[in-house]
Amino acid sequence: MHEWALAEAIIYTVTEIAEREGFREILSVNVKVGELQQVDLETIKFALTQLKRGKLEKAEFKVETVKAKLKCRICGEIWDFDKDKLDEEVAEAIHFVPEVAHSFIKCPKCSAQDFEFMEGRRMYIESVGGIR
């Protein structure tokens, strides 16, 4: 059900954008979902099709995953997050509180646990297209 709440937030935000930007009709919405969100994209897409109304009725939603990238603050190494290398409990913990990743993940080059998430942590609306 987490995905439905996210879809509702997307619909609400796009509706606000449509009003603010003076769109009569929304035709396209591009949404980026960070890998660390660990959501089912098909469920979000389905929810969006069920929730769109009014100015969003004809909107095509494109929902894509953004791979998570990490950067070591010690040596500068950049690497991809790989949840398949984590046990299920750790992956779940990182899903709910990404900051705990520092307890379980180490830099592959220098083994430091001091890193930052460069990408793949958040969900955002990349673009909205429509008719004014």
- Write down the pLDDT at residue 1: 58
Cα 77 to Cα 4: distance, rounded to the nearest angstrom: 36
Cα 84 to Cα 44: distance, rounded to the nearest angstrom: 22
For the chain, the structural domain boundaries read 2-66+120-131, 69-119
Phi first, then psi: give them for residue 38, nearest 5 degrees: 45, 55
Three-class SS state of 78: strand
Q: Tell me if the domain spanning 2-66+120-131 has CATH number 3.30.2320.50.
A: yes
- Write down the pLDDT at residue 13: 97
pLDDT in 10s for each residue of the chain, 132 residues: 589 999 999 999 999 999 999 999 999 999 999 988 878 999 999 999 999 999 999 999 999 999 999 999 999 999 998 877 888 888 778 777 777 888 888 999 999 999 999 999 889 999 999 999
Q: Which residues of 88-109 are buried (b: 16+ CB within 10 A; e: fewer)?
A: eebbebbeeebeebeeebebee
The pTM is what? Answer: 0.81
